[in-house]
């Protein structure tokens, strides 16, 4: 009976350790995502401010159109690149968060009767 209690305690401890590791990885991953969003938002704001200042200084309608087209092109390319990067961050977060739990679950063998 003491052996069963020890096994249950070990099982419980492993469960807590796996959950703790998973939460740590999740926390770090979410922080990385937040940092990435913050950096992108700052850059996007700076780029739009710069484009607006250039538009105010445009001497002709053609020059204004050129500035606006350049801004939209860069904004679109930046958005696509950022979306790809965010998708990769989310996918990595899911994989890394599941790893501690996966290794824990793989240790558990199904009970057969």
- pLDDT band, very low/low/confident/very high, at 106 (cuts 50, 70, 90): confident
Which residues contact residue 55 at a Cβ distance below 8 angstroms, ignoring those fewer than 6 apart? 64, 67, 68
Q: Which of 81, 51, 57 is nearest to 69 (CA)?
A: 51
Domain limits for position 74: 26-106
pLDDT for the residue 110: 62
DSSP 57: T
The answer to whether residue 76 sits within a structural domain is: yes
Whether residue 112 lies inside any domain: the answer is no
Residue 108 has pLDDT above 70, yes or no: no
Among 17-21, 49-53, 54-58, which is the least confidently predicted range? Answer: 17-21
Alpha carbon distances (Å) from 41 to 37, 45, 74, 79, 87? 6, 6, 14, 10, 16
Is the pLDDT at 105 greater than 60? The verdict is yes
Q: How many distinct structural domains can be found in the chain?
A: 1
- Could you tell me if residue 18 is inside a domain? no
How many Cβ atoms from other residues are within 10 Å of residue 97's Cβ? 20
Measure the CA–CA gap between 11 and 20, rounded to whole angstroms.
Answer: 14
- Please tell me the pTM assigned to this model: 0.73
Identify whether 96 is part of a domain.
Answer: yes
Tokens standing for 6? Answer: 């020890």
The answer to whether position 17 is within a domain reads no
Does 20 map to a domain? Answer: no
Q: Lowest-pLDDT range, 22-26, 48-52, 76-80, 103-107?
A: 103-107
Which one, of 95, 77, 91, 90, lies nearest residue 40 by Cα?
A: 77
Kindly state whether residue 33 falls inside one of the protein's structural domains: yes
């Amino acid at each position: 009976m003491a052996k069963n209690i020890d096994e249950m305690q070990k099982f419980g401890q492993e469960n807590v350790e796996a959950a703790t590791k998973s939460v740590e990885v999740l926390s770090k991953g979410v922080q990385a995502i937040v940092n990435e969003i913050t950096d992108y938002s700052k850059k996007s704001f700076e780029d739009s401010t710069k484009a607006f200042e250039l538009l105010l200084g445009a001497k002709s309608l053609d020059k204004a159109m050129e500035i606006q087209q350049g801004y939209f092109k860069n904004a679109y390319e930046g958005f696509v690149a950022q979306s790809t990067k965010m998708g990769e961050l989310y996918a990595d977060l899911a994989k890394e968060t599941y790893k501690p739990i996966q290794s824990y679950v793989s240790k558990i063998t199904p009970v057969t009767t």
